[in-house]
Chain A
């Protein structure tokens, strides 16, 4: 069964509004989760690393005030795209950190369309 649950699978919002995406670890407690962004015909690009109980670590070029990450519990991390604009339209995927040597655990992704 699924190890990671990501919700919603798709969302359409108007420009200027904020959108929250949830990533849940179903099988184990996850102190670390990751958020990726994927543009058409490109590979996944790491946006930030979400750490339970502390601030997220953002990759270079990712605006932390625009992409708010909250990891308030060991099973839930949220990504909020604030004041969304059409250029934020993309496919967002979360991943839960697992033990070394085990398979990687990705969410099913969220298709965000900003109109």
Chain B
């Protein structure tokens, strides 16, 4: 089975960009890469997802390595509301999910 690895925690200052890495060296060709974030006592919130190409939306950008063995979630300008645990998740047909351990992002004013 594929596996994802994330740093336990990261810090950022407000208004600065944040790059959250995820290693998934055993990803299969059909696994989608999802990023979700979670606040205490809340369900996971969708951030972004992709398969092979880089993706952009109003919340973030997803940079996927050419070999797909790693990806980076980019928050272009961190705000205090971006403080959360960010999960990198692999999915095959959205059936079976492989969760990363999550990165706790702290944002300082």
Give the A-binding residues of B (Cβ under 8 A): 32, 34, 36, 41-44, 46, 49, 51, 87, 89, 91-95, 97, 99-102
A43-B87 CB under 8 A given contacts A97-B95, A100-B93? yes
- How far, in angstroms, from A103 to B46 measured CA to CA in the complex? 7
Q: A6-B43, A104-B97 are in contact. List 11 more A-B contacts (CB 8 A).
A: A10-B41, A44-B44, A46-B97, A91-B41, A100-B93, A100-B94, A102-B94, A104-B36, A104-B46, A109-B42, A109-B43
Contact A43-B99, Cβ < 8 Å, known A103-B34, A104-B89, A106-B44: yes
Interface SS of chain A: loop
B41 touches A97 (CB 8 A): no
User: Chain B nearest CB: distance from A45 CB in Å?
Assistant: 8
| Cross-interface CB contact of A93 among B43, B46, B89, cutoff 8 Å | B43
Q: Say whether A101 contacts B32, CB under 8 Å.
A: yes
Nearest-neighbour CB distance to chain A for B4, whole angstroms, equals: 10
Question: Smallest Cβ distance from B38 to chain A, in angstroms?
Answer: 9
Q: Are A106 and B97 in contact (CB under 8 A)?
A: no
A111 to B91, CA, bound (A): 26
Q: From B41, B94, B101, give the contact of A104 (CB < 8 A).
A: B94
A-side contacts of B92, CB under 8 Å: 100
Residue of A nearest to B104 (CB): A41
- Interface pair A106/B49, CB less than 8 Å apart: no
Chain A residues with Cβ under 8 A from B100's Cβ? Answer: 43
Contacts of A32 in B (CB 8 A): 95
Q: Which residues of chain A are near B93, meaning CB under 8 Å? A: 100
